[in-house]
Amino acid sequence: MAEDGLVVKAPKVLILSAPGTNCAVETSNAFSDLGARPEIVGLHLFKEKRVRLLDYDIFVIPGGFSYGDEISAGKILAAQVKLHIGDLKNFIRMGRPVIGICNGFQVLVKAGVLPFSPSCEQSASLITNDSGRFENRWVHLRINTQNPSLFFRGLPEMIELPVAHGEGKLVLRSPKQLEDLKRNRSIAMQYVSDDGKIAPYPANPNGSVFNIAALTNPEGNCLGMMPHPERYTKNYQHPNWTRQTFQKQAFGLAILKNAVDYCRG
C-alpha cells in the first residue's frame, strides 16, 4: 500500500540488474503472473539519475553472480547500491517491500542493510559453503512463526525451496548478535531436516550459524533469503510434484504474492 493510504492495484516492481545477475527474467515473470508491473532496471540508470526508487512499490535484488562475485559474493554490487541508490533506507523506512534473493541477500548483508543497523554498517557476511562446493538442490525450511515478515503470511511452518549458491554461509560478528537477532525476531527461516529439526549438512547446505536461511529487519518488510522463490512458482517445478501430498501450492510464488497483496492493501 502506498504511504498515503491509496490502494495500489498493480504494484510497480523494480528488479535491479547489474553485470552478472541472471535471475531477473524469472523473477519478472513471477511478478507478471501475479498481476504486478515488473521492470528490470539496470544499475547504470541509477548512476545516470534516470530512475528513482521511490517511484516503485517493491524493490528486488535478484540472484546471480553480480560482477562475477569478485572480491566476495555481492560485495561490489553492495558498494554500488550504497553509492547510487540513496533512497533505499527511506524506501525501507516507509514500509515498502524489499527482497534480496541469493546474490541479492549477499548484497543486502554487505551493504549493511541486513542484519538491521541504523548506521548501515556491515555486521555479518555470507561466505564459502562449509562443503567447499556449489550447492544446487532443494532444501527443507522452517518458517519462524514469530517473525513479523509480510512475505510469509499464510504459509505453513514447513516448506521446501531450491538453493543454488557457493557462498551462502551466514556468519555474524559475535554470539551476542545472534541473541539480538533472536530477541528482535529477525530470523525468518532456518534450514532443517525433513522432520523439521535443526541439523547439520546436508540439511544445512552451507553451514550458516543457527541454520539461518533468511533474515528480515525488525519490521519485517525487508527480506534477505538464500533459497530461490522465483524457481518455485509452478507446482510441477517441484521434483516430486506427481507424488507428494503435503505441498499443494508453489511456495515461492506465495512468498512473492504476499508482497504484491501487501501493496494492494
What digits encode the pLDDT tens for the residues 139-181? Answer: 999 999 999 999 999 999 999 999 999 999 999 999 999 999 9
Q: What is the pLDDT of residue 120?
A: 80
Q: Over the chain, what is the mean pLDDT?
A: 94
pLDDT of residue 233: 96
> Could you give the CA distance from residue 43 to residue 84 in angstroms, rounded to a whole number?
8
pTM above 0.85, yes or no: yes
pLDDT reading at 44 higher than 60: yes
Q: In the structure, what pLDDT confidence band is assigned to residue 247 with cuts at 50, 70 and 90? A: low
Domains of the chain (ranges plus CATH)?
12-264 (3.40.50.880)
pLDDT of residue 249: 77
Instruction: Report the Cα 48 to chain-centroid distance in Å.
Output: 26
Give the mean pLDDT of 191-208.
Answer: 97
CA dihedral 174, 180, 185, 186 (to 10 degrees): -40
Task: Give the pLDDT of residue 8.
Answer: 63
Share of the chain above pLDDT 70, in %: 95
Question: If pLDDT is split at 50, 70 and 90, which confidence band does 119 have?
Answer: confident
- Per-residue DSSP letter, 106: H
Assess whether pLDDT exceeds 60 at residue 2: no
> Which whole-number Å values give the CA distances from 96 to 2, 53, 121, in the listed order?
8, 11, 21
Read off the C-alpha cell for 254. 506465495
Examine the pLDDT at 1 and tell me if it is beyond 70. Answer: no
Catalytic residues: 102, 228, 230
Quote the distance between the C-alpha of residue 77 and its chain's center.
15
Return d(Cα 155, Cα 175) in angstroms, integer: 30
